[in-house]
Amino acid sequence: MNNIDIVMQDAREAFESFRLLSPSERSSFLQKLAAEIEAARETLVQTAHEETNLPLPRLNGELSRTTNQLNLFARLIEEGSWVEAAIDTADKNRTPPKPDTRKMLLPVGPVVVFGASNFPFAFSTAGGDTASALASGSSVVIKGHSAHAKTSQLVFEAMQKAISKAGIHPFTVQHVLGSGSTVGKALVQHPLTAGVGFTGSFAGGKALWELANQREQPIPVFAEMSSINPVVLLQHTLQENAAALAKTYAASICLGMGQFCTNPGLLLAVKSDALDQFLTLLGKEIEQTAPQKMLHSGIHASYTKGLSEVLAQKGIEKIAQSAQQPGNGEAFPTVAKVNASVFMQNPHFREEVFGPYSLAVVCADKAELMNVLQSLKGQLTTTIMATDADVEANADIIALQTTLAGRIILNDVPTGVEVCASMVHGGPFPSTTDGRFTSVGTTAIKRWVRPVCFQGFKDTMLPDALKNNNPLHIWRIVNNEWTKNGI
Amino acid sequence: MNNIDIVMQDAREAFESFRLLSPSERSSFLQKLAAEIEAARETLVQTAHEETNLPLPRLNGELSRTTNQLNLFARLIEEGSWVEAAIDTADKNRTPPKPDTRKMLLPVGPVVVFGASNFPFAFSTAGGDTASALASGSSVVIKGHSAHAKTSQLVFEAMQKAISKAGIHPFTVQHVLGSGSTVGKALVQHPLTAGVGFTGSFAGGKALWELANQREQPIPVFAEMSSINPVVLLQHTLQENAAALAKTYAASICLGMGQFCTNPGLLLAVKSDALDQFLTLLGKEIEQTAPQKMLHSGIHASYTKGLSEVLAQKGIEKIAQSAQQPGNGEAFPTVAKVNASVFMQNPHFREEVFGPYSLAVVCADKAELMNVLQSLKGQLTTTIMATDADVEANADIIALQTTLAGRIILNDVPTGVEVCASMVHGGPFPSTTDGRFTSVGTTAIKRWVRPVCFQGFKDTMLPDALKNNNPLHIWRIVNNEWTKNGI
């Protein structure tokens, strides 16, 4: 057996043990994970700072997000209704007799999680993919990201302490490092792997998805890939709020040096004096934004290349760049504009430039704006900046936006993704490989399960979630009625 | 534009209108569909009988199943909680302020449904795929099956009457006929198609799935393909109930001339005198089963070829065939047996032979039986025939079965799939392309939707399911609590 074979055999063995834990045992383990990561906060944040160039306050916030996320999933599985238990009791007098059938969601088995470069904590080693997979009852193999390998290893060591304190199978979580094209590929191809979580580039995510589909038994890959997050700025709000909008959007475009999946990369509006005024103010804000170091040299090189390529396209006009020349490894905050007719003819403008860059698309009229929206690929988010009068006059634009993305935002910025039950951080292809699921929020757990129906089982043989007296006190659908009552 | 272009443009236009109907309007439309099909019952059943060779009582039952299914979905969407509404209200005092986010499932758009050869009503034109897609708010394009094209056309005509009476968009449902490799392919590849439902062969389903994955924007294909539905017969029940088991299983193997996806194609047991006795009795029952006409000449030719190929494999031993030689187009009911060691070495034995055939696998001991189970691909169902003592002594076998299929059955036959909330008619690949979903039962609706999150929306802009006062009176998760209360 090679190394990956051993890792996946161990992961499978751990799964067989971990899946049998009660929800409260799993919940308690997730809380211990959060506690051990919290206990290592100072070292973790300092190490991540050195590896990623991200500022300490941001990393401290991200670490809190990570432990909050683990605790949120702990509460979710303690509450327990997420398993979608449904029960239809037997009716022996029917012709033909109706059997007793009971359904719930069960974990699929070892899950492979790829760490993300841009979130060393919240979307990496102990991030949302890992937290949701463990909550479901799956064991996890983490492929640490090379851009923050030390941080990843330290997070894993904290997790190992929690595993030891919880007294659960030592291979419930494993950690491997190495290249995506060898180690990553081998993990996705391994017959014992049952699901994959990934946050990163379109090329990387699509490659994993294709590998998974070529397996003898294909497996789901949940890759969150690329999105330019179109923002529609409507007429009255531009007239009334240009200065505030410029400040808000410059900050969102440059937040974390633009290294967010939800960065507003496209600003759409109908041409007007108010739009010109807004773009001038936005340019001034961008000029005042200082360049900062990007996550690593690869991302910096991509941004520099992507930016120069897009700015070389015919018909694009630079609005402004930071007044300060970027130093070594630093990103150059930039906004540009293009007419919608030019935008529509050049697919290059629809590609993500990952960094502090945004493109304003100036439309001749509302019809052209809707054509631009319709020409876009699937997105994680789309935003409407609008007054009440704007909303009333543009219901058709908003309806169109609903078909485009997983999250539709009114009068706010797309950056910032709340971790909660109603979040959708996912969207139609190519923003993710599977727009039916989210990688943020409690329903992220649904990626690692499948429904199983038990027919004619005796009460003692059934999982607790399906037993007559409802020992877990969860919400269930019993004979088509939602209830917490026993049978 | 070619024909398929026109069809899909019309389907898209109908979707834009149909998705805006209220749940009760959609519910009422589904009931009208059921009523119009019921009104045409006599003609439909007679036509299907002529096209498929299926007996009239079976077809009458299947038609009732079809209308019951439509009415079940009508009740589901009238009740309304299936949209998984989740609401997290704003908290402006938090740092940073917490936004108001609200999530629900929305239909994905035009769905293409392929009729199945073996169920001219329940899995075809107005069958489960169509009923669930319409219930979700998607428009539907039906590709009628050539083996019962007239029936399909007549069902569609009944549906058109319902569309007309409901006064909804005339292209909400469309019907096309033609070959799978041209018309079917063009439908799956069309950019406006958003999802595909299919019940049929592994080759057919896999081909559609691959086409869908090769699109610029891949779409989900829910193909229910092939399954041999392993049945484990345990020691004590064989000793105590051999005669009854033989009768029950002979009937299940030959039900509908074996033309069910859930046909028990594999019988697993540890060698014993009781097993020999059971197999002898099973053989006698099979001998007494008369050959009947299969659905069409293609299926008959496949069965005859598949049967002779499997019976020619080394180490297989025929137990019995029908005492009556099959006539033109009739299937030859057959049971055979093979030792587990031979079974394990020849993957041919794991392939489905679609028809009244079942293979008994005689295992040396329990360990070998578990090896056989572990060697199987994903299945729709797996069954345990067992006394209480058997269950107690074989929890490990049952646990293993849970990982193998979408439905686990105790002391019953796998044929017969109840249409209800707790049904799972789906399973790991290759039994279906996506084991996370079911094609039978109310949760089949989840195949045609994706979640959308509305952030910061005003109450009047929100879909009814997400409005503060909960006008649809549905169950929702509000700030992590299940409730029907308004906000």
- Tens of pLDDT, residue by residue over A417-475, are 999 999 999 999 999 999 999 999 999 999 999 999 999 999 999 999 999 999 999 99
How many Cβ atoms from other residues are within 10 Å of residue B347's Cβ? 10
Q: Cβ of B482 and A482 within 8 Å?
A: yes
Averaged pLDDT, A16-34 = 97
Q: Name the E strands within B324-398.
A: 334-339, 357-363, 379-385
Mean pLDDT rounded to a whole number for chain A: 96
- Give the lowest-confidence range in A128-132, B41-45, B199-203: B199-203
**B452 vs A388, A408, A458: nearest CB:** A408
Averaged pLDDT, A169-190 = 95
How many Cβ atoms from other residues are within 10 Å of residue B314's Cβ? 9
Count how many pairs of residues, chain A against chain B, have C-beta atoms within 8 Å: 177
**pLDDT over 70 at A82, yes or no:** yes
- C-alpha A234/C-alpha A237 separation (Å) is 6
How many CA atoms within 13 Å lie on the side-chain side of B100?
Answer: 13
Q: Considering only CA atoms, which of B161, B195, B155 is closest in space to residue B62?
A: B155
Mean pLDDT rounded to a whole number for chain B: 96
Q: Considering only CA atoms, which of A84, A83, A76 is closest in space to residue A24?
A: A76
Q: Cβ of B109 and A430 within 8 Å?
A: no
- C-alpha B269/C-alpha B234 separation (Å) is 6
Token duo for residue B384: 């345990």
- Tens of pLDDT, residue by residue over B182-237, are 999 999 999 999 999 999 999 999 999 999 999 999 999 999 998 999 999 999 99
Asked, as a colleague might, if the bond just before A170 is cis with ω within 30 of 0, I would say no
Q: Sheet holding B266-270: strands in order across?
A: A481-483, A476-478, A86-88, A101-107, A449-455, B405-410, B379-385, B230-233, B266-270, B357-363, B334-339, B317-321
Contact B291, B258 (CB under 8 A): no
Residue that has been written with the tokens 């797996």 in this structure: B382
Q: What is the H or E stretch that residue A374 is in?
A: helix A366-375
Contact A422, B392 (CB under 8 A): no
- Tens of pLDDT, residue by residue over A217-247, are 999 999 999 899 999 999 999 999 999 999 9
Q: Cβ of A452 and B103 within 8 Å?
A: no
How many Cβ atoms from other residues are within 10 Å of residue A241's Cβ? 18
- Tens of pLDDT, residue by residue over B427-472, are 999 999 999 999 999 999 999 999 999 999 999 999 999 999 999 9
- From chain B, the residues in CB contact with A421 under 8 A are 86, 88, 103, 477, 480
- C-alpha A476/C-alpha B467 separation (Å) is 24
Which pLDDT band holds residue A1 (cuts at 50, 70, 90)?
Answer: low
Q: Considering only CA atoms, which of A178, A182, A224 is closest in space to residue A201?
A: A224
Averaged pLDDT, A48-62 = 96
Q: Cβ of A436 and B449 within 8 Å?
A: yes
Give the 3-state DSSP-derived string for A234-297, with helices as H, strands as E and coil as C.
CHHHHHHHHHHHHHHHHHHHHHHHHCCCCCCCEEEEECCHHHHHHHHHHHHHHHCCCCCECCCH
List the catalytic residue out of A51, A254, A261, A368.
A261
Contact B356, B334 (CB under 8 A): yes
% of chain A beyond a pLDDT of 70: 100
Q: Which residues contact B244 (CB under 8 A, 6 or more apart)?
A: none
Q: Cβ of A455 and B412 within 8 Å?
A: yes
Helix, coil or strand: residue B439: coil
Q: Considering only CA atoms, which of A423, A384, A422 is closest in space to residue A401?
A: A384
**Interface-testing mutation among A455, A460, A470, A480, with chain B (most B C-beta atoms within 10 A):** A455
Distance between B2 CA and the closest CA of chain A, angstroms: 22
DSSP per-residue codes, B34-75 = HHHHHHTHHHHHHHHHHHH---HHHHHHHHHHHHHHHHHHHH
Contact B98, A68 (CB under 8 A): no
Is residue B261 annotated as a catalytic residue, yes or no?
Answer: yes
Residue that has been written with the tokens 């909660």 in this structure: A420
Asked, as a colleague might, if the bond just before B430 is cis with ω within 30 of 0, I would say yes
Sort strands A357-363 and B379-385 into parallel, antiparallel or unpaired.
unpaired
Q: Cβ of B88 and A420 within 8 Å?
A: yes
DSSP A112: E
Asked if the interface predicted TM-score (ipTM) of this complex is over 0.95, the answer is: yes
List the catalytic residue out of B62, B261, B285, B363.
B261
- From chain B, the residues in CB contact with A96 under 8 A are 416
- From chain B, the residues in CB contact with A420 under 8 A are 88, 101
What backbone torsions phi and psi does residue B199 show, to the nearest 5 degrees?
-130, 120
- C-alpha A470/C-alpha A85 separation (Å) is 10
**B378 vs A88, A96, A217: nearest CB:** A217
**Interface-testing mutation among B377, B422, B462, B476, with chain A (most A C-beta atoms within 10 A):** B422
Which pLDDT band holds residue A180 (cuts at 50, 70, 90)?
Answer: confident
**A421 vs B88, B217, B437: nearest CB:** B88
Distance from the Cα of residue A21 to its chain's centroid = 27
Asked, as a colleague might, if the bond just before B291 is cis with ω within 30 of 0, I would say no
Alpha-carbon dihedral sign for residues A250, A252, A258, A263: negative
Contact B429, A218 (CB under 8 A): yes
Q: Cβ of B429 and A398 within 8 Å?
A: no
Chain B residue whose CA is closest to A383: B455
Q: Which residues pair with B482 in a beta bridge?
A: B477
Which pLDDT band holds residue B179 (cuts at 50, 70, 90)?
Answer: confident
% of chain B beyond a pLDDT of 90: 98
Distance between B350 CA and the closest CA of chain A, angstroms: 14
Classify A83 in phi/psi space as left (phi over 0), alpha (psi -120 to 50) or beta: alpha
Chain A residue whose CA is closest to B104: A422
DSSP A89: -
**B418 vs A98, A437, A477: nearest CB:** A98
- C-alpha A156/C-alpha A144 separation (Å) is 9
Q: Residue A4 corresponds to which amino acid?
A: I
Distance from the Cα of residue A3 to its chain's centroid = 29
- C-alpha A90/C-alpha A274 separation (Å) is 67
**pLDDT over 80 at B1, yes or no:** no
Chain B residue whose CA is closest to A408: B454
Chain B residue whose CA is closest to A210: B213
Residue that has been written with the tokens 């079940």 in this structure: B72
Helix, coil or strand: residue A80: coil
Q: Residue B161 corresponds to which amino acid?
A: K
**Interface-testing mutation among B68, B453, B459, with chain A (most A C-beta atoms within 10 A):** B453
- C-alpha A475/C-alpha A484 separation (Å) is 5
- From chain A, the residues in CB contact with B418 under 8 A are 88, 98-99, 101
Rg of chain B, C-alpha, whole Å: 24
Chain B residue whose CA is closest to A438: B451
Q: Cβ of A449 and B436 within 8 Å?
A: yes
Q: What angle do CA B173, B179, B181 make, to 5 degrees?
A: 110
- C-alpha B87/C-alpha B101 separation (Å) is 6
Averaged pLDDT, B255-266 = 95
Token duo for residue A326: 């970027």
**B408 vs A403, A408, A454: nearest CB:** A454
Helix, coil or strand: residue A142: strand
How many Cβ atoms from other residues are within 10 Å of residue B11's Cβ? 28
DSSP per-residue codes, B155-206 = HHHHHHHHHHHHT--TTSEEEE-S-IIIIIHHHHH-TT--EEEEES-HHHHH
Distance from the Cα of residue B61 to its chain's centroid = 17
- From chain B, the residues in CB contact with A439 under 8 A are none
Distance between B431 CA and the closest CA of chain A, angstroms: 10
Q: Cβ of A409 and B456 within 8 Å?
A: yes
Q: What is the H or E stretch that residue A231 is in?
A: strand A230-233
- C-alpha B304/C-alpha A389 separation (Å) is 70
**A422 vs B103, B411, B436: nearest CB:** B103
Sort strands A379-385 and A230-233 into parallel, antiparallel or unpaired.
parallel
Q: Cβ of A418 and B75 within 8 Å?
A: no
Which pLDDT band holds residue A2 (cuts at 50, 70, 90)?
Answer: confident
Averaged pLDDT, B384-406 = 95
Is residue A51 annotated as a catalytic residue, yes or no?
Answer: no
Asked, as a colleague might, if the bond just before A99 is cis with ω within 30 of 0, I would say no
- Tens of pLDDT, residue by residue over A260-271, are 999 999 999 999
Sort strands A140-143 and A230-233 into parallel, antiparallel or unpaired.
unpaired
